[in-house]
Amino acid sequence: MIKLRGHSRIIQCDETVQAVRLGETTYKDGLAVHRNPETFDIKCNCQPLSDRDLMLVPEGDRFKENWWLWSMKDSKPIKLNDRIIRNGINYQVQGVGDWGSYNKCRLVRIDVGSHSNP
Chain segment 63-73, per-residue pLDDT in tens = 889 999 998 88
Amino acid at 118: P
Q: Quick one: pLDDT at residue 89?
A: 92
Structural domains in the chain, sorted by start: 9-109 (2.40.10.270)
Chain segment 29-55, per-residue pLDDT in tens = 988 888 888 999 998 889 888 888 888
Global confidence as pTM? 0.80
Query: Pick the residue with more confidence: 49 or 116?
Result: 49
* Residues near 10 by beta carbon (within 8 Å), at least 6 away in sequence: 45, 70
Q: Quick one: pLDDT at residue 82?
A: 92
Residues 91 and 105: beta-carbon distance below 8 Å: no
